[in-house]
Structure 1
Amino acid sequence: MKNALLRPLLEVALLLLVALGITRWLTGLFGVRVKLLRLSAGRQLRLAFWPLLALDASLSAVSAMLLNGRSAQGFEWVLAAVFFGLTLTLSLPAFVLHVRYWLLNNGTEVIFQPEANQFEIYEQGQRQFFNYRDILKVERVSCRARRTFWVNYDYLRLHLADGRILTLTSLLGDLEPLTTFLRSAPTERRAVAWCWV
């Protein structure tokens, strides 16, 4: 039963990945080299893949125990519960960060073209006006816990002269090229165990 459900899901996921790859390749061939950072399904799936996979594995173990409830021994229930608890403990921080970053950057778009010295941020369709000299500080926060599910969740904060703080998270895309582009502003790099904004 598990294979009957898992195989079609994996086939659909593979087809989606191939379609996204072909689309990205075609747009790269005919498009201008402008980076548009925004929330995309591919990026979200890439960040949440391992936590979802671990949670799915533990849920399949628990569901197998529920289906064979009468023949399962007590220690099997304990092992299934420990496995579920462990994967939930490892996955939950990544899910919490994912939801938090989605709430922060839903409707945010960044147009970034280093060759033309173009950098624009749009929030809910409204452009956030500022000049490079208005950026007082760039704060780049990354995760130092290397073997966790939330290692790829990081963020960049732009502290502006008028008091605004613009937060760009890893759900939008890779933030390292943007940090390099903004190197003229004072940059503070920090590594924390969990990148909560």
Structure 2
Amino acid sequence: MKTALLRPLLEAAAVLLLVLGAARWVTGLFSKRTHLYRATAARQLRLLFWPLLALGAGLSVLPAVAVGEQAASAFEWALTGGFVLFTLLLGGPAALLHLRYWALNHATTLVFQPTENVFEVYEAGQRVPFARRDVARVERVTCRARRTFWAKYDYLRLHLVDGRVITLTSLLTELEPLAIFLRSVPTERRSARWCWV
């Protein structure tokens, strides 16, 4: 009974993904490259796909063991607990970083077009008043742990001459082109195991 219902749902999901992927590819051929960067759903899904998959796989074991037809033994509970703990350690840090970055940049819009020398930051629709010459130094932090789910989470902090600090996270876009654009500004580059802001 379960497989009779599950198979058509999986087939429909596969067809839907194929159609959406083809539509995105076709529209990408005819659209102009955007220079406006926000925390879009597509960008968030790209960053969160593997952590959420790991957390879903790990946490789905708990109900299966808890409401099984037979009572689970202590050994089965220990294995389940170990697997859940492992998946929490695997996907949990990326989910926490994502929530932190979203809290920092969910209302941020970055307008960046290096060929036109355009670099503007908007917070909640209001332009943050600064020019490139107002940036005293740049702090670029990347993740040292390359083979983890949180490796793509990094940030860039702009320290302005008036003391303000603007934080731009990888939730908006890839930050390396922006760091290259600001190469004339003194830049402090460092790497951390976990890029918490």
**What TM bracket, shorter-length normalisation?**
0.7 to 0.9
Are the aligned partners of 2:55 and 2:92 in contact in 1 as well (CA < 8 Å)?
Answer: no
Measured in 2, the distance between the counterparts of 1:100 and 1:133 equals: 29
Cα 1:148–1:3 change in 2 (3 A) is farther
Cα 1:76–1:94 change in 2 (3 A) is same
Aligned length in residues: 196
Calculate the TM-score normalised by the size of structure 1: 0.88
Measured in 2, the distance between the counterparts of 1:165 and 1:44 equals: 24
What is aligned with 1:109?
109
Measured in 1, the distance between the counterparts of 2:179 and 2:18 equals: 28
Structure 2 residue identity aligned to 1:49: F
Measured in 1, the distance between the counterparts of 2:129 and 2:21 equals: 32
- Structure 1 residue 138 corresponds to structure 2 residue 141: no
Residues 67-146 of structure 1: matches in 2 within 5 Å? 67-68=67-68, 70-146=70-146
Residue 23 of structure 1 deviates from its aligned partner by 3.8
What is aligned with 1:19?
20
What is aligned with 1:30?
31
- Where do 5+ consecutive residues of structure 2 fail to align? none
Residue 73 of structure 1 deviates from its aligned partner by 2.9
What is aligned with 1:189?
189
Measured in 2, the distance between the counterparts of 1:79 and 1:3 equals: 30
Residue 187 of structure 1 deviates from its aligned partner by 1.1
Secondary structure at the counterpart of residue 20 of structure 2: helix
Residue 6 of structure 1 deviates from its aligned partner by 9.3
Measured in 1, the distance between the counterparts of 2:60 and 2:43 equals: 25
Measured in 1, the distance between the counterparts of 2:63 and 2:11 equals: 19
Measured in 1, the distance between the counterparts of 2:48 and 2:91 equals: 9
Measured in 1, the distance between the counterparts of 2:196 and 2:90 equals: 16
Measured in 2, the distance between the counterparts of 1:99 and 1:184 equals: 32
Measured in 1, the distance between the counterparts of 2:181 and 2:191 equals: 20
CA offset digits 1:48-74 (Å, max 9, x no partner): 111111111112222221232525332
What is aligned with 1:169?
169
What's the C-alpha RMSD, in Å, of the aligned pairs? Answer: 2.6
- Where do 5+ consecutive residues of structure 1 fail to align? none
Structure 2 residue identity aligned to 1:15: L
Structure 1 residue identity aligned to 2:186: P
Measured in 2, the distance between the counterparts of 1:187 and 1:181 equals: 11
Secondary structure at the counterpart of residue 188 of structure 1: strand
What is aligned with 1:43?
43
What is aligned with 1:65?
65
Are the aligned partners of 1:34 and 1:112 in contact in 2 as well (CA < 8 Å)?
Answer: no
Cα 1:44–1:156 change in 2 (3 A) is same
Calculate the TM-score normalised by the size of structure 2: 0.88
